[in-house]
Every structure is written in C-alpha cells, then in structure tokens.
Chains A and B, each alone.
Chain A
C-alpha cells in the first residue's frame, strides 16, 4: 500500500533539550513547583504523541507526518504526507487542509511483540476524501514503517468550505485515538464536518466516538441503537479532540469543542447520545447557513453565551432527554478545549488524580481567549466536577493541542506554536 520510499535522512536530527527551569508560584498547599524542558522545537503544528515505556516518543505533525524521538534524543522521520521529502516513507494520499491532516497517534498495547502503531489521517485515496485509521509496523531500528493497513477507511472529512466560522475544508475533524487500558480497545474521536446530518446519523462515522479492535472491527459489547454502525460507541458529538480514561475506574472521558459557548467534558456511556443535533427546521430553529445551525442564532456577532446555549445547546436534552449530561461546561464558554489526561503519582501531591485539560484559546464576542491548562477534580464516574484550578505551567499561554503522560509520569504538552514540552514536578 505504500508508495516507494523516498530518500532517507542522512543523519538523525538531534532534538533540542533545553531545560528552562522556571519555577512556578510556590504553593501553601501540597502542590509541586513545576519546571519545563523543551523536548522538541521547530515543529509544524505538532498534534499528538504516544510513548513506549523506555521514553521513545512517536509524534505527529499535522501537515508533515509521523516521526519518532528516541530516548537518546535522536529523531527519525517515519511516514511523510503529500509534499514531504525527508521521511523514510511517504504516502502521497495523506493530505492536510484546514484542521485536518495527520492527527492522533497510538501505540499498540502489545508493541513489544508486534511493533505496531496507529495514526488518524486525512486521505485522498477515496473520493471524496475521508479520514482513516492506519495501522503500521515499525522496524527494529525505529527508522521506517511498513505493512500499512487502513483499519478504518470511512470517517467523514469536510470536502469544501461552507459559510461558517472556521468554515474551511477539513473543519471539525476530531482525530484523537487512544487505547483503553481497561478494555484494550481503540477509541477514535471524530467531528461533525459542519454537516448537520452527521452527528445523529446511524451510519456516518463523524460526530462519534468509535470503539474498535486492532483490525478495525467493532469492539465486542458496543451498544449503539439498533440500525447504527456497530463500530459506534457514542454519537451526537460536535468535535471531540480529547479522550482519556479514569485511572481508577477506566471510565472513558472526552472533551468536546463548544460552538461560541459551552466547551464540555463528558463521561461516555456505551451507546449514548451526546445530544448535538444542529439540523435546521427543528427544535425551534428555521433555516440556517448551508443547512448547519451550529453557530446560531447568530454566527458572526458576539452575544451572551447563555442565550446561545439556550437556542443551540451542545447537549439538547429537550430533543434527547436521555442524552449524556456533561460533567463540566467551562462556565458556559468556548475557548478551544482540546486534549485531556490524568495526572497520577504521589509526586503530584494534591494534584494526584486531577484531570489536565488543555485550551487552545478562542477570543470571540467578548469571551477571554483562555489559553491554559486546567486541573480538574472530577468524580471517579466522570459525572461531576468538584474543583477547577489553573496549572501554573512555566511556558505560560500557548495553543495547548495535546497532553500525554510520559512513562516517567511527567506530562508532555504539544503546542501549535511548534514545540513539545515536558513538565516536571520539583
């Protein structure tokens, strides 16, 4: 399935490892001070990371492809997208546009035996384009990948621009992929493509969380409503870019972007509906731009987020009374909620067990931009939030795209500005 490999890099890039060591504000409580290490910099829109136990870090760049940083700091470029030339292998069908491109990456739970990694990427192999989940084998030297198999080929991709904010092609593309440590299945988060038919569709895989095995088949025990694609675990989502699992219970928890209001954190219920349905001519609405009401009643001017939420709720419990209820709604604001990951370990003191949630920042209609990491004390069942604080990360404000816990227990944070940081407690 791979096109011919291109020229190999002459030598591996030595990744920068600049320790900045800016202490965060001291705390009277049992909260650690933080220092940061810039693990990689000069990247182009780094999107996700996945670790092996020895610290090997796979990472994606949205318009470039998949690379790996070895424990000694060397970097190997493995799978490049259309237009790249320094990757061991290039796949010209892998394309990027707008928010789409190469997004999530995950390593197989049995990597030691099968050397398998997975990525989520837009592809033009099908017409129209789709998002795919690719499975590949990494060679023993970590210098190349082979045996590409597309285990999911039919995740919708937004093919053309529409009359909406962020309305370019490739929008609302989801893209996080994670294995559950509890059930061993791969969870795949998708987006609604600014297409109102997608979130509640029983067949279209956008606006969903899929739960599949390593061949892309439906996980045993998925319970979507009758007539739904059996790969669907939950539906009725807008654009899910974060998923993690409670360290004590395995409860899957997602973050979901809000439309000018109400970023959400949701605990997933097998077969559940998240209640997003932006179709026109229903729930008190009339016609909408390009048949998508997601930013109504007014998609271009600022207005009270509460009024927006009443008119076009992210979780429409009037239409769908059984919809999954969000544990948290970011005080009714939309600020680009992205990745989520639990902090675990005694070294984190009072923060042990807190959910880190990244925000990329969107300043619209009087809403503060809000670039930050929140530390959220969420119940084990994921249904309620006890406390929300801001994590005093040394790098300050940035477009926090991805947060992943490394094998050392430290969170690694990718920012759109082009760096991946490691945060260490002192």
Chain B
C-alpha cells in the first residue's frame, strides 16, 4: 500500500505541473481579472473589438495562449495578445483555461 501511494505521488510530481494545476480555477480567476477582463469583459462575454471567451473549452484557450506565447500571429488582435501571453507559464495557461472554460459565462 505504501508503495502504491508513493508511486501515485511520484507519478503526480513527474507529470507537468500544468496538469496538476488544471483545476486551480481560483488562480485562473485572479489572473483573468488582472490580465484579461479589461478587454474580454468581466464575465468573458467579449466587448467591442475583443472576442467572447465564454463557451470556449480548455483545449481551445490553451492552444491559443500557447500560440500567442510562441509569437504566432492568430487573428487581427495578435499585436495585443502576443505581448500579453509572452510571460505566461504553463501553470498560468492551465489555470486560465480551467477558469474560462468552467466559469466564465
């Protein structure tokens, strides 16, 4: 039993921290409020030229943020998104994806 538990813990630690953090919606919520809400709206509905995020799944959010972080241009607001994504960690992206996909309405 001890061995099994150790194995579980070790496996979890070896997995990417992003995966471990995937359910940390509260961290994602805080980061969203700080970095995203000014343009995408407090509840992710989108505003003006900035698209809605509500209804997007975690895979979509993760993929977009990773592409922006890599400097890839995706759509007409890339100039704004690339610098915003540059300093995001894998954890940040996972947290944002969890929050937006599960909470933003």
Contacts and interface: CB of A to CB of B under 8 A. Distances in A.
A363 B38 contact: yes
A302 B83 CA distance: 9
Nearest to A362: B80
Interface size class of B (residues with CB under 8 A): 10 to 19
Contacts of B77: 165-166
A415 B73 CA distance: 29
Interface string B77-105: 11110111000000000000000000000
Contacts of A364: 79-80, 83
B76 A168 contact: yes
A171 B82 CA distance: 21
A99 B46 CA distance: 12
Interface string A91-115: 0000000110000000000000000
B47 interface: yes
Contact of B76 (A161, A301, A369, A401): A161
A401 B49 CA distance: 13
Interface residues of A, number: 28
B16 interface: no
Contacts of B83: 302, 364-365
Interface in B25-65: 38-39, 41-42, 45, 47-49
A45 B47 contact: yes
Name the prevailing secondary structure of the A interface residues: loop
Contact of B79 (A99, A299, A371): A299
Contacts of B47: 45, 399, 416-417
Contacts of A166: 49, 76-77
A171 B48 CA distance: 10
Contacts of A167: 76
B42 A99 contact: no
A302 B79 CA distance: 9
A399 B38 contact: yes
Nearest to A164: B76
A45 B84 CA distance: 24
| 6 tightest Cβ-Cβ pairs between the two chains A and B | A416-B47, A167-B76, A165-B79, A300-B79, A166-B49, A168-B76
Interface of B: 38-39, 41-42, 45, 47-49, 73, 76-80, 82-84
Given A98-B49, A166-B77, 16 more contacts: A45-B48, A99-B48, A165-B76, A165-B77, A165-B79, A166-B49, A299-B79, A360-B48, A361-B38, A363-B84, A364-B79, A364-B80, A364-B83, A399-B47, A416-B48, A417-B41
